[in-house]
Amino acid sequence: MKKLLTIVFTTFSVATIAQDYAAGEKIFKGNCASCHKMDAKLIGPPLENVVADQGEEWTKKWIYNNQALRDAGDSHAIAIFEEYNKMVMPSYSYLTDDELTNLTAFIGGWKEKQVELAQVSTDDKKGTNATSIAALKEPKELSAVSKVILSTLVFAVIMIALTILTLYRAFITMVQVNKELHQKQ
């Protein structure tokens, strides 16, 4: 029973993390991507390390109302404000706590996700080459649609060949008849 609960909890946790990441990515694209990239400066700083460096709670507070952090004397918030020429980032106080959690899950998990995607891409490329070579060696069964199309093409080629043969015979016959008419005259 304990193993079953562990499996259920792990499966639920993995699904929830994936959902949080995807939901956070959507929030990021809709609210943050115009000023931030994850791995490079844009209008604002790159965000790939902010959760790891500052923590999830600080990141949530910054997103929710960074002015409040600066007013409270948070040295990191003030340093960012100074570094970016005192450009004010809008507050996102309309985001719910769940949305902020999803957003920080995306920001915090982005770098790991990129490594994961790169690995999958590399594995796909390796697998594709091996699969392609194997596919060349093994004949594949045609699908029903392919068989119908192939049969139709073969039938069309046969019909064209018969038509050409019939026209050729008619032409030869006409030439012979024409020759006989000229000989009789």
- Can you give the residue ranges of every domain in the chain? 2-137, 144-185
> May I ask the CATH class of domain 2-137?
mainly alpha
State if pTM tops 0.85: no
| CA angle 40–44–46, rounded 5-degree value | 30
Please tell me the distance from the alpha carbon of residue 15 to that of residue 75, in angstroms, as a whole number.
Answer: 37
In this prediction, the residues of the chain whose per-residue pLDDT falls under 70 are 1-19, 123-140, 142
| pLDDT value of position 139 | 61
- In this structure, the chain runs to a length of 185
| pLDDT value of position 131 | 53
| pLDDT value of position 168 | 94
Please tell me the distance from the alpha carbon of residue 108 to that of residue 51, in angstroms, as a whole number.
Answer: 5
| pLDDT value of position 8 | 40
| pLDDT value of position 184 | 81
Please tell me the distance from the alpha carbon of residue 99 to that of residue 177, in angstroms, as a whole number.
Answer: 91
| pLDDT value of position 123 | 66
Instruction: Check if the beta carbon of residue 44 is closer than 8 Å to that of residue 36.
Output: yes
Count other Cβ atoms within 10 Å, centred on residue 99.
18
